[in-house]
Every structure is written in structure tokens, then in C-alpha cells.
Amino acid sequence: MKDFEDLVNQVRKQIVISVELEESEIAQLSNDDDLLGNPLFLDSVDLLQIYADCQRKFGVVFNNADYEGAHTVNSIVTRAVRGKETKSANAGDALFYSSDGSRYSNAEFKQHITQLIAVLQSEGLDKAKPLRVLDTDPVKMMMVAIAAVLSGYKPLMSAQPQGENAVSFAHLIPKQGEAPSLLDSKSIYQQLASLQQEAVIFFETSGSTGIPVRIEKSLASMVQEVEELTALFDFGALDLIDAYVSPVHMYGFIWSFLLPLKLDAPVMYQSNTFLKPVPETMSHVMAVSVPSIWHSLSGALTAQYRYIVNSGGKFGEQRDTQFAELVQNKLPDLLGIDVLGSTETGAIAYRMIGQDHLRTYQLLPTVRLHPSDGEHLIYSDFLPLGVESAPLDDKVEILANNKILHLGRKDSVFKFKGKRYSLKEIEDKLFQLFAGHALRVYFIEQEHNVRGGELIAFVVKELSHFDITSEVRAIFQDLPIPKIEFIDELPTNAMGKVTLQGLQEKVRNARV
């Protein structure tokens, strides 16, 4: 009953938007009033616009018979519900397209989870510790993770291939369990949304240094993030999510797993080496992407795509310009959403790619930033479990209308020979030396190093050595001089991030 009432309210709001009514006019309309009659007296064109907009909003298709008979708010809701039921009944095709070519229907997905739950009941694993999910295949990874969380475990999503208290799909699925299934007739998304705050998932993130850090996220907070995103953007008409980000990352977990479940839309997980074309029958597709694969993806985009979502790194001025040109010349219906956030904070803000200024973002409605001692504290429903507020690891300027100007990461301060220095200051000096060249600077703390650690810079420049000349010493006067490594490019990980670990591996490989 509540779901029906919610749909009624959504239809009434859509009518206001579709035919540009005043609130006072819609207030006079009862849910059983004929839309072609008193009090609105809409014409047939207005009615067709309302039906078209409602089909897009609710992701359904009305048959010819649906345009006959009464035209009321209640009848539109009834038709939308019937459309969803028909769509669900006909969902014999794959709901999950795995990156290895396997396909799983919704029924198969739930059946595997049911079996995994039964096996997990008798495995005797430690529920007090994070349960590492070893699978790399996205669909099997999600089956194990959801079975685990529904069984009272705390699954750990990690790119690390091994660890204690670990399970995998291949290990669990051949076994037989006697425990009754915990699944019911509700959808997987509904069951996840009904879990309490204590239901958590751990994400192991490398951040910018490559050192693994575990972040404990409440499943309820991630569901809340999905709810907020679907309220902001009209994703109802999407019939496929084309995912270039694995759900092993929180960004991927939300956008390429929870969101498709919420929308009841199929998801196709792509591999890093071979991009599969989306089925020709899919006409409303969203790509979930990261900056590092833009070059490959941009050439494969067709009129089937309606959205591109980017996160995990800066989209950048060059990509932004290319996106705007693509929309102008080839794909006028394509929208791009650039999400600002992290595993630690969840989503913070967004901007429209190719439309908004590169550094100007709109805060999500429930996210608040408060100035505090020269920085900003973030208050959000999407923070890790038990965290009410946290310092923002980015420099921002708060603008009017709940917007922010993103100024980059905060100056990192390190202690070298007993004195405190700023990495930003070191970077600025290096940019004087290597104008026009990309670079990164890190300070690696070392407990037994008399200087406190090693200051190292990675510069994209075709040089095999660099002499510390008097000119350089003059530039770095009263500042520590970093060790400089020259590389041909800044390597990025699967999330499009440059990490210290990746840079060090590139240097080691170049020396082999």
C-alpha cells in the first residue's frame, strides 16, 4: 500500500513537470479525476507527454491497450505497476553479464546466493573478523559478498589475492548446506535495504600511497547513497549498466552493483583488456567509468549511451573538452556525471562533464561542509560506520547555492631532519625545473632513517639521470632536495589513480 501511495505522489509530481502546472492546480485534482476533464482539462498532446515521461521515469513500457479507458493518476500508477510486473516476468535474459563471458539471470543469481548462504551456515568461519572475498570475477564476488552479509558476516572486498578467514565461490558452491534459506520473495535490493546499520562491508583501499587501508562501510549508508542518486538523476529508462569498474571498489559497488539492483537493470562487467560491445537491443545505456579508460571508451560510444559516470580521479581539461565535442558533434543526448568522493567519505558532490567548470561541484543534498581551523569537516550519511564527521582531505572553497570549488588535495606536511615541510612547496619548486611535465612527490616515512624518511619525486621526462647543479640548489635553498626518478608516464590503477606503489613498480620494471 505504501509503495502504491509513493507512486501516486511521484505521478502527481511528474504531471506538474510534464505540463508545467502550478501547485495550486494539481492540488485540486483527485487521484480518480479524468485528466482530460475537470479540473485540468488537458488535451491529448499533454496526456501523451505525461505518459511518455512516466514511462521514462518508471522504466516501463505501456502497451497500446494502456492508452484506452480512464486517464487518471490511479490508472497511470496501475499501468506502471503492471508494466514493472511484466518487465520482471519477462526477465529471462541475463541480469548479470560477467567479464569472463558468463551470464546469470535474476533467478540464477538468487539461487546461487541461497546455496551459498546454506553452506556458510556450516563453514564455522569467524564472524567477528572480516571475511575476505577472494573472487576476482565481479558476479561471483557479489554472490559471495551478499550471501556473507545476509548470513551475518562482514565481507572484505579487496584486490589482494589472499589472506586469512577467506572464501571464494569455487570453494563454497560445490558444498551442500542443510541450513534453511534466508532469502524470501523480496528482491535482493529490498533485502539489503532492510538490513540494520550493523550490516557492514569492508573495503580495502590503497589511497594515494599504495598501503592498504580497511574502511568499514555500513550497507545502509551505501543504500542511502543510491537512493539519493536516483532521486537526483532520472535513471528510470536505463536498460543496461556498462561497468568498467569492479565492485571490489566502493564506487563500483554502488554504481555497478547496488544501482543496477535498485533499477532492476542488467549490468555488463567489462574486462581491462577487451571492451565488449553492448547488445544492439539496449537503447538506454550508462557507462560507469574511470579517467584511465576514457581514450578507449570514447571511441566506442554510440547513440545507445545516455550517461557516462566518472569517479576515482580527475577527469581533466582535455577529456572534458573531448566530451563536450563528442556531445556537440555526435551524441547530443549523452550526459556525463563527474562524482567527487572517496571510499572514506562516500560521494560528496558532482558536476556535469563538459557543462560545468572543471573545479565547480554541486554538493549532494545531505552532505554538509563546515569550516574548522583552516580546513573543512564533512558531515554526511555516507561516512564510515560510526563516524559522524571527518576532516576533508581536499582543499575546497564554499560557494553560493550549495556549490564548492575543488582546489585539489590538502598540503601534505612531512617532518624531515626535525623540521616540518610541505609537499606542495616541494612540488612548486619542481614545477619551476620541469615546466610542462607531469610529476608526483611523496615522502616515505622510515622509522630508522635519521632524516625521518625518504623524499622522492617522479617526473614524466625522457632523462635517465639528473645532476644537482648550483641552479637546482639555489631553487631548493633551505628545502630538502628530493630523489628524482624519471619515467615515461604516470601509471594508473584500475580506479584511474596514480599511487606510490604503482610508480615504484614502474621504476623497478624499467631497471630490469
**Which tens digit of pLDDT belongs to each residue from 352-370?**
999 988 889 999 999 999 9
Share of the chain above pLDDT 90, in %: 40
238-254: b or e for each residue (b if 16 or more CB lie within 10 Å)? bbbbbbbbbbbbbbbbb
Rg (the chain; Cα; Å): 26
Sign of dihedral through CA atoms 170, 175, 178, 184?
positive
Cross-strand bridge partners of residue 378: 369, 390
For 273, counting Cβ atoms within 10 Å of its Cβ (0-12 exposed, 13-18 middle, 19+ buried), the class is: exposed
State which H helix or E strand residue 337 sits in: strand 335-342
Q: Are 11 and 119 found together in one domain?
A: no
CATH number of the domain where residue 444 is located:
3.30.300.30
Please say which residue of 72, 89, 106 terminates a domain: 89
Range of lowest pLDDT (52-56, 83-87, 363-367, 406-410): 83-87
**Do 249 and 497 touch, CB atoms closer than 8 A?**
no
Question: What are the residues whose beta carbons fall under 8 Å from the beta carbon of 286, sequence distance 6 or more?
Answer: 235, 238, 240, 241, 242, 305, 306, 307, 308, 309
pLDDT at 494: 65
Q: Can you give the CATH number for the domain in which 305 is found?
A: 3.40.50.12780
Q: Is the pLDDT of residue 430 over 70?
A: yes
pLDDT confidence band for 91 (50 / 70 / 90): very low
In this structure, the answer to whether residues 117 and 219 fall within a common structural domain is yes
Q: Strand 375-379 relative to strand 267-269: parallel, antiparallel, unpaired?
A: unpaired
Same-domain check for residues 141 and 64 = no
Split into its structural domains, the chain has a count of 3
Return the top range by mean pLDDT from 59-68, 183-192, 285-294. Answer: 285-294
Domain boundary among 391, 408, 425: 408
Residue 465's pLDDT is 56
The pLDDT value given to residue 334: 96
- Residue in 234, 193, 226 with CA at minimum distance from that of residue 13: 234
- Binned at pLDDT 50, 70 and 90, residue 92 comes out as very low
d(C-alpha 512, C-alpha 19), whole Å: 67
Beta pairing class for 360-363 and 403-409: antiparallel
Determine the average pLDDT of the residues in 286-303: 90
DSSP for 133-163, written as a single string = E---SHHHHHHHHHHHHHTT-EEEE-S-S--
| Rounded Cα gap, residues 348 and 359, in angstroms | 13
Whether residue 264 is found in the same domain as residue 333: yes
User: How many Cα atoms sit within 13 Å of 117 on the Cβ side?
Assistant: 18
Residues 77 and 122 in one domain: no
Residues 392 and 420 both lie in one domain: no
How high is the pLDDT of residue 29? 92
Same structural domain, 85 and 113:
no
Q: What is the CATH number of the domain that holds 26?
A: 1.10.1200.10
Q: Write out pLDDT tens, residues 295-348.
A: 889 988 999 999 999 997 778 888 999 999 999 999 999 999 999 998 889 999
State whether 203 and 147 are in the same domain. yes
Task: Reply yes or no on whether the pLDDT at 63 is more than 80.
Answer: no
Per the CB < 8 A criterion, the answer to whether 148 and 167 are in contact is yes
Instruction: Report percent pLDDT > 70 for the chain.
Output: 89
Distance of alpha carbon 438 from the chain centroid: 27
Q: Give tens-digit pLDDT for 69-80.
A: 789 999 999 888
Query: What pLDDT, on a 0 to 100 scale, did the predictor assign at position 207?
Result: 56
CA distance from start to end of the chain: 67
Which of 89, 121, 136 is a domain's end point? Answer: 89
pLDDT at position 33, please? Answer: 93
Q: Which has the minimum average pLDDT: 104-113, 202-211, 303-312, 497-506?
A: 202-211
Residues 264 and 144 in one domain: yes
> Same domain for 126 and 225?
yes
In this structure, of 21-25, 173-177, 291-295, the range with the lowest mean pLDDT score is 173-177
Containing domain of residue 183, as a range?
96-408
Model pLDDT for residues 188-243, shown as the tens digit of each residue: 899 899 888 889 999 987 655 556 789 999 999 999 999 999 999 999 899 999 99
Residue 90: per-residue pLDDT? 47
Question: Kind of pairing, strands 285-289 and 240-243?
Answer: parallel
pLDDT digits (tens, 9 = 90+) for 152-189: 999 999 887 677 889 999 999 887 665 455 555 678 89
Give how far Cα 326 sits from Cα of 28, 332, 387, Å.
45, 8, 41
Angle, in degrees to the nearest 10, between helices 2-19 and 73-89 = 110
Best CA proximity match to 412, nearest among 440, 372, 370, 386: 440
Count of positions (residues) in the chain: 512
Mean pLDDT across the chain: 86
Asked if residue 198 and residue 126 are part of one domain, the reply reads yes
pTM of the entire predicted model? 0.71
> 131 and 302 in contact (C-beta within 8 Å)?
no
Based on the fold, state whether residues 361 and 251 are members of the same structural domain.
Answer: yes
pLDDT at 213: 84
Q: Quick one: pLDDT band at residue 512, thresholds 50, 70, 90?
A: low
